[in-house]
Structures are given as structure tokens and as C-alpha cells.
């Protein structure tokens, strides 16, 4: 329940039979290569019903599985690292996810990842002032902030272009003036 979307069947290994009751009840769908809740709201209800310690443990286990599986998607790593309270991994994964989003032209996603990395970096500095990575993190924060602002601006510029293409000139003018 701590993994949004579908999970590869291989990731569950010998734990697949644990889902039998949920499959029979129609809550979980098992396809050839993947397993997932039939509805995201059901998954969220199950996840939110978990005690916080168990939820954190499950996210930690997912992180271990993802890392064993090769090169996991940085955004997925960042999500589970945040939930597992692994701030170092969440910081580096959010940065990597932001850079990947930039490469894909996903400016809103990139900005969100940069903002999360910025927040995590600041918390790491406050919480662990003597941490071995403090100098490196402190040096990265201004660049992360600048990158977040650039990505947010590019997202807004794309919205302005969309308004112009659809002849919503007043909306384009108002948004450009707000920048």
C-alpha cells in the first residue's frame, strides 16, 4: 500500500500469496507482470490506516528493493526516502529527479523537486550542523533555489504561450505582468 501505482510482481517475490484475500475481495488486481490496487483511494485508505512506524519501515523496505533492482527512477527514490525519513537520500534523489525533469522539459515537476531538495537541504543544515556534507549542501542551496525559480518561470512562460495560441490574450497579458 505504500507504493502508488503498480508494482512489478517480481518485486513481491514470495510475498505474492499474502495478497490473495485482497485479490478475491476485488481490492487488488494482479496482471501478468504487475500488481496494484484497483483504486487509488483504496490504496490511500489502507496506507493511511498503517501505524506510522510500520509505514516508515515499509518505505525503507521499498527503498532497499528499488536499489537492488538497478537504476530506480529518482523521483520514486525521493518519494520513498522522504517517507522513510532518509533525508540524505531524499535530498540527493530530489536533485536527481529535478535534473531528469529538466531534461524531459517537465518544468513544473523540476521546480517541485528543486523546492523539496531546497527544503530538505535547509533542514539538514539546521538539524545536523556538523554533518560531513554540510559544506557541500550549503554550496548547492543557492543553485538549487535559482534552478527552481528558472523552472517555475519557464512553466509560466509556457502557460503564456498556451494562452496566446488559444487567443486568450487578456490572460496572457495578466500572467506576464504578474511575472
Residue 55 Cα to chain centre, angstroms? 16
Q: What is the C-alpha to C-alpha distance for residues 67 and 61, in angstroms, rounded to an integer?
A: 10
With 70 as the cut, is the pLDDT of residue 85 above it? yes
With 80 as the cut, is the pLDDT of residue 132 above it? no
Look at 75-84, 89-98, 119-128, 159-168 and tell me which has the smallest mean pLDDT.
Answer: 119-128
With 90 as the cut, is the pLDDT of residue 56 above it? yes
- Residue 78 pLDDT: 93
With 90 as the cut, is the pLDDT of residue 53 above it? yes
Residues 6+ apart with CB under 8 A from 28: 19, 22, 35, 36, 37, 38
Residues in the chain: 179
Residues 6+ apart with CB under 8 A from 47: 1, 2, 55
Q: Which percentage of the chain shows pLDDT scores above 70?
A: 94
- Residue 133 pLDDT: 67
Q: What is the C-alpha to C-alpha distance for residues 162 and 175, in angstroms, rounded to an integer?
A: 11
- Residue 11 pLDDT: 81
Instruction: Name the burial class of residue 111, with classes exposed (0-12), middle (13-18) and buried (19+) by CB atoms within 10 angstroms of its CB.
Output: buried
Whole-number average pLDDT of the chain: 84
Q: Tens digits of per-residue pLDDT, 16-32?
A: 888 888 889 999 998 88
Amino acid at each position: 500500500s505504500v507504493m502508488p501505482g503498480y508494482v512489478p510482481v517480481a518485486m513481491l517475490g514470495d510475498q505474492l500469496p499474502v495478497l490473495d484475500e485482497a485479490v478475491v475481495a476485488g481490492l487488488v488486481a494482479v496482471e501478468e507482470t504487475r500488481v496494484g490496487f484497483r483504486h487509488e483511494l483504496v490504496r490511500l485508505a489502507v496506507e493511511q490506516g498503517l501505524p506510522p512506524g510500520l509505514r516508515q519501515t515499509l518505505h525503507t523496505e521499498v527503498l532497499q528493493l528499488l536499489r537492488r533492482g538497478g537504476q530506480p527512477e529518482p523521483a520514486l527514490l525521493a518519494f520513498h526516502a522522504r517517507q522513510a525519513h532518509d533525508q540524505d537520500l531524499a535530498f540527493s534523489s530530489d536533485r536527481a529527479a529535478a535534473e531528469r525533469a529538466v531534461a524531459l522539459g517537465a518544468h513544473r515537476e523540476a521546480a517541485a523537486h528543486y523546492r523539496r531538495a531546497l527544503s530538505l537541504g535547509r533542514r539538514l543544515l539546521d538539524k545536523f550542523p556538523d554533518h560531513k556534507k554540510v559544506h557541500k549542501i550549503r554550496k548547492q542551496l543557492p543553485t538549487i533555489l535559482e534552478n527552481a525559480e528558472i523552472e517555475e518561470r519557464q512553466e509560466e512562460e509556457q502557460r503564456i504561450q498556451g494562452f496566446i495560441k488559444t487567443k486568450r490574450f487578456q490572460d496572457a497579458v495578466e500572467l506576464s505582468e504578474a511575472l
